[in-house]
Structure 1
Amino acid sequence: MKIDRFWMIQIIIIISLFALLIGSYLFSFGWFANKSTSLATTVAPAPVEAVEIAPPTPAPAPMALAVVPSEPPKPPATCTPAGETLSSDSIRDSLSSSDGLRQTSCLEFLQAESLAGDKGAELWIGQAHHHGWGVVKNLEEAASHYQQAALSDDLAVRDSAQQWLKQLEQEQALPN
């Protein structure tokens, strides 16, 4: 049976790829690692000459240090209770909670995320200002955050921010 040049090249490529795959597998488990210790046993250690060392000078007496009580490390800011995954519901529950610590922690988390460029966090900060969750209710501040979120590349965040802006405009148009 005659095998033409095309199929020979295909077979060579497949064999080469298979060899690379097997080689990378063997290297990943260290089968080709240098485990030889014969070099260490055949080389004699260099002779060490005796050198006279001066006695150490006494250290000065330790000074009394003032012990300043330190605050326990602050847990990282988060919007979720321990063991719960971050979701819209957990953020809403944390922000609308009557627990001030939980609200503050969630707002700190959202502000850090917002500074990192997360426009979804910007939307949540706007809602906190809109509803007065953990902050003083401030519709101008809410509108500012909604406008920032409306610049998002994420279509869902952008649409939601635009809807919140419309609702805010309607609320401001109503007579008090």
Structure 2
Amino acid sequence: MKLDRFWMVQIVIILTLFTLLIGSYLFSFGLFADKQPTTITATVAPTPVVPTTTPEASLTTAPTGAPTKPTEPAATCTPAGITLSSDTIRDSLSSNDAARQASCLAFLQAESLAGDKGAEVWLGQAHHHGWGVAKNLQEAAKHYRQAANSDDSDVRDSAQQWLQQLEQETQR
């Protein structure tokens, strides 16, 4: 009888381990995760408008049906619904669509001002290749050097490689 109890305990242990193994396998492939694709959308806050009033203007009221200026879409490097990635940033910067380039450059400049060193690399590439801006190798080098001071080793290495390539191009 003791032998039967031993084997029952062994079977329970094996089934428990098997269940944990299958569960972790399914979880690692996202079968329990939310099926909605995640998109990264970063926006740049619009510049606040400070109303100026004159004594005459404060006495009158604006007409109720006055047309208003349409708000501009937030600056971004990706079309709506597309995930932000290196490929989408490169596609936006190198596209022939000036509005798309300008929006991406505005997004990258805002991210750069917020301290994103990866955006510095992209701004350097924009100036290096003339994507949306006039080709300016000195400005590109400046952005690459700023990104080379990053704490992120991937960004630092990328910036150093681009800076080295830029220096080789200028020596020719």
TM-score > 0.5 by shorter chain: yes
Q: Which of 112, 118, 121 is the equivalent residue of 1:120?
A: 118
Partner of 2:4: none
Q: Flag the 1:68–1:136 CA change in 2: closer, same or farther, 3 A.
A: farther
* Structure with more contact order per residue of length (Cα contacts < 8 Å, sep ≥ 6): 2
The answer to whether structure 1 residue 151 and structure 2 residue 149 are counterparts is: yes
Partner of 1:69: 67
Q: Flag the 1:139–1:68 CA change in 2: closer, same or farther, 3 A.
A: farther
Q: Which amino acid aligns with 2:128?
A: H
Give the TM-score normalised by structure 2.
0.63
Q: Which amino acid aligns with 1:65?
A: A
Task: Output the CA distance in 1 between the equivalents of 2:66 and 2:130.
Answer: 38
Partner of 1:168: 166
| Structure 1 position 71, deviation (Å) | 1.6
Task: Output the CA distance in 2 between the equivalents of 1:113 and 1:63.
Answer: 41
**Deviant stretches of 4+, over 6 Å:** none
The answer to whether structure 1 residue 81 and structure 2 residue 76 are counterparts is: no
| Structure 1 position 166, deviation (Å) | 0.5
Gaps of 5+ in 1: 1-61
1:32-63, Cα deviation, whole Å (9 max, x unpaired): xxxxxxxxxxxxxxxxxxxxxxxxxxxxxx95
Partner of 2:108: 110
Task: Output the CA distance in 2 between the equivalents of 1:63 and 1:167.
Answer: 62
Partner SS state of residue 100, structure 2: helix
Partner SS state of residue 121, structure 1: helix
Task: Output the CA distance in 2 between the equivalents of 1:157 and 1:84.
Answer: 23
| Structure 1 position 64, deviation (Å) | 6.2
Give the TM-score normalised by structure 1.
0.61
Q: CA RMSD of the aligned region, Å?
A: 1.6
Q: Which amino acid aligns with 2:70?
A: P
Task: Output the CA distance in 1 between the equivalents of 2:60 and 2:163.
Answer: 63
Percent sequence identity is: 72
Q: Which amino acid aligns with 1:141?
A: E
Q: Which moved more, 1:63-72 or 1:135-144?
A: 63-72
